[in-house]
Structure formats: C-alpha cells, structure tokens
Amino acid sequence: MADVVNGRPVTEQSTAELVQRASEQISRLVRDEIALAKVELAEKGKHAGIGIGLFGGGGVLALYGTGAAVATLIIVFHLFLPLWLAALIVTVACFVIAGIMALIGRSQVKKAIPPEPKAAIESVKADVDEVKQAVKERGRE
C-alpha cells in the first residue's frame, strides 16, 4: 500500500513537494525535541534546587548543634547539674536532624545528575534511526 499525502500517493508527488514535506516534519520534530529537553532540564533543576536547599539547612543545623555542644560542655564543667543533660539532648537532636536533611539532600542532588536531557537525546537518536531506515527503504523502491 502506497503512502498517501494530500489525497495523492507519494510516488506521484514531485521531489520539491516531498522535500517541502520532509522539511516541515523535521522542523516540527526539532521543536518537539527541544520542548522535551526543556521539560526534562527543568525537572532536574528542581531536584538540584531542593537538594542544595536541604544541604544548606543541614549545615545550619550542624552549626547550631556545634553551638549547643559547646554550651553543653560549659554547663557540664561549670554546674555539674542535670541541666547538662538537657543541653546534650538538644545537641544530639540537632545533629540527627542535620544528618537526615543531608541524606535527603544528597538523594535529591543524585536525581539531578547528570544534567543532560537523556530522554530527549534518546528520542532524537530514535528519530534519526527512523529517518535513516525510511531513506534506505525509499532508495530500494
């Protein structure tokens, strides 16, 4: 069965018509691939931003944890009262939260790496292979 475009078989169309149609299809294909790449890069950028924010938050809590550890040490040496236990608990809690935030941030950054749009690249490769195959088949006719 012959391909039909605009009501006429492809074999009856002029070369200029076929080239024009191919040019339009390639332009549409390139625009679609660029749109796919933009969407994919935006998603990876979002994950990178979340991961960097969580790393920053974890760093801030680690800083506060260090301050709490110093305060704990001062209280322990100065008072030898149960107050040090409370300060120690706060210190440990800050470090635990900082560690959790850092782990979550690391997983978010891993989702953003590598920053290349893999799906778009694979799609372009598949499109190129399809065009090559069609040209080979057309040449055999």
Given a cut of 60, whether residue 116 has pLDDT beyond it is yes
Stretch among 2-11, 56-65, 85-94, 103-112 having the lowest mean pLDDT: 2-11
Buried b (16+ CB within 10 A) or exposed e, 61-99: bbebbeebbebbeebeeeeeeeebeebbebbeebbebbe
Highest mean pLDDT among 6-10, 78-82, 88-92, 106-110: 106-110
Compute the average pLDDT of residues 37-57.
86
% the chain with pLDDT above 90: 6
pLDDT in tens, 53-93: 888 899 899 988 888 887 876 676 676 667 777 777 777 87
